[in-house]
Amino acid sequence: MHDPCRVCTIGDLEVQGAGAASARPRGFCSKVSSLKTERASASVSGFELTVYTRKQSQAFKLHHGLVTVGRATGNDISIDDSSVSRFHLRLHVSERHVEAEDLGSANGSSVLRDADAGAEETSAETQQRLAPNVPMRLEPGDVLRVGGVPMVLSARRPSTLGTIKLVSSHKGGPILLDPEMKRAYDLAARTAASDIAVLILGETGVGKEVMAESIHRKSHRHSAPFLKLNCAALPEALLESELFGHERGAFTGAHAAKIGLLESTDGGTVFLDELGELPLGTQAKLLRVLEERIVLRLGSNKPREINVRFVTATNRDLYKEARAGRFREDLYYRVSGMILRIPPLRERRSEIEPLARHFLRVFCGKTNVPEPELSDGAKQALIGYSWPGNVRELRNVTERAALLADGHTIGREHILLEPEPDTPPKESTPASFVDELEQATGVFNLPTPPHLPNIEPPLPTSPDEREHEKQRVIRALDACGGNQTRAAEILQVSRRTLINRMIEFGLPRPRKN
């Protein structure tokens, strides 16, 4: 059966979807509204407000009466964010409903809610700004934005999250067990119903692209194209040509006019990864697209209207980058209509083993390799590691372990991990054991070497023994990709001794690129 959400790859560019760009399936917003109606009709034991700050999300149970929200410590809900006023908002909480009242804050407050079920679905974005000192009634599921901080109001009842299918049914969907991840995807699901710009924050490899695709699939644009573009993968000139297109003769080699990717994604979703790497010149042009929804091809003065939804991602702190002048501040506020943070894998250890089993199942299915079991030692190694490369690193480690296990149970010896970052050397390890030139080349995390004496062992004297020792050094270096620290661990000698051996045997030392 034809899949309307297929992915097309063009170099480092990926475009998903082949349906008509103007296609807008009806019924999505009405389903969301009916879900909200079902929640409202169910028995409610109270209300809860989940606050999403830059560092974490936190749920607050709302007591009946007045609940104050602001930056000052005297508030019932205190938020440490510069965009929030000292006394920003007041909530009027009763047994059956909640009203929000802005207290004349500097940056204001607004409510983002699902489109009305009976409304024409020309635009699913319904964001309403709160007038100062005028209470507005909120419904469970509404997203309340206080300054730059989003919050979600929910009704307290058993298994609230269970009413929403957060785990995608399609292949490769996210595995959601950690409460922080569930909340992030809950907010993402609610945000998907609108066209508000979304900025996804998270370290490299946490799954920002998976969340962006989830937002697209849950939106009314899900049958239209989904463009994935890594802003750091293309030079500035080529990036502009690919995004905006060009006319014939616009530059050397432009023998024919070309439609840009933004035009070809009309009606769909554009995901810009590594947004912080976008050149300042291109940032200015992208800002115009976001503000006016028009593109201007290179070499043309004729603007063309487009209808796309933007989702962006970065592992940088764009707010600090903007304040430092390395990123356009006006563009930052344009792309950060809703900010979603994905916690690193080390903060959601309950998902490590399920993710590892998922990657094993997928990899073994593709390679026709029997799916191995994980031993207790392997599980402990996976859960105890800090995962600086996050989910991407976990996938690589599990796939490599499946090959090394060769269909048998994966043991601790098959889990090859990078050395823990920022870990000081143990007292039994000489200072020379750590070499900054080799940090990027280490690929194995071998057992901790035994205590290394300060006295270097003597070099063999007979030709046969010398040749045997030389081959041992060569094999150890080959096994570690030339990393001298790891090779010394294998040989159970100090790194200084290994270097002396290499000089004695005439073996070249690897150099940093």
Read off the CATH number of the domain in which 99 is found: 2.60.200.20
Task: Give me 103's structure tokens.
Answer: 């207290």
Do 235 and 329 have their domain in common?
yes
Residue 238 lies in a domain: yes
What is the pLDDT, as a whole number, of residue 378?
Answer: 92
What is the pLDDT, as a whole number, of residue 67?
Answer: 94
Rg of the chain's alpha carbons, rounded to an integer?
28
**CA angle centred on 330, ends 328 and 333, rounded to 5°:** 110
Over residues 63-108, the pLDDT tens digits come to 899 999 999 988 999 998 888 999 999 999 998 889 999 999 988 9
Q: How far apart are CA 492 and CA 478, in angstroms?
A: 16
Residue 253 lies in a domain: yes
User: Among residues 61, 39, 64, which one has the least CA distance to residue 50?
Assistant: 61
Contact 300, 257 (CB under 8 A): no
User: Among residues 228, 230, 188, which one has the least CA distance to residue 211?
Assistant: 188
Do 333 and 365 have their domain in common?
no
Do 330 and 186 have their domain in common?
yes
Do 73 and 140 have their domain in common?
yes
Q: How far apart are CA 102 and CA 90, in angstroms?
A: 6
What is the pLDDT, as a whole number, of residue 126?
Answer: 66
**With the C-alpha atoms ordered 37, 38, 42, 46, is the resulting torsion angle positive or negative?**
negative
What is the pLDDT, as a whole number, of residue 421?
Answer: 54
**Looking at the 3D structure of the chain, how many domains does it have?**
4
Task: Give me 377's structure tokens.
Answer: 């030692």
What is the pLDDT, as a whole number, of residue 57?
Answer: 61
Do 300 and 384 have their domain in common?
no
Read off the CATH number of the domain in which 185 is found: 3.40.50.300
Contact 295, 259 (CB under 8 A): no
What is the pLDDT, as a whole number, of residue 315?
Answer: 92
What is the pLDDT, as a whole number, of residue 10?
Answer: 32
What is the pLDDT, as a whole number, of residue 374?
Answer: 93
Residue 371 lies in a domain: yes
Q: Which parts of the chain register pLDDT below 50?
A: 1-42, 117-125, 158-172, 423-456, 512-513
**CA angle centred on 290, ends 271 and 57, rounded to 5°:** 60
Residue 325 lies in a domain: yes
What is the pLDDT, as a whole number, of residue 157?
Answer: 54
What is the pLDDT, as a whole number, of residue 164?
Answer: 23
What is the pLDDT, as a whole number, of residue 56?
Answer: 59
The pTM assigned to this predicted structure is 0.55
What is the pLDDT, as a whole number, of residue 136?
Answer: 94
What is the pLDDT, as a whole number, of residue 88?
Answer: 95
Do 365 and 218 have their domain in common?
no
Range of the domain at 501: 463-505
What is the pLDDT, as a whole number, of residue 61?
Answer: 87
Do 223 and 278 have their domain in common?
yes
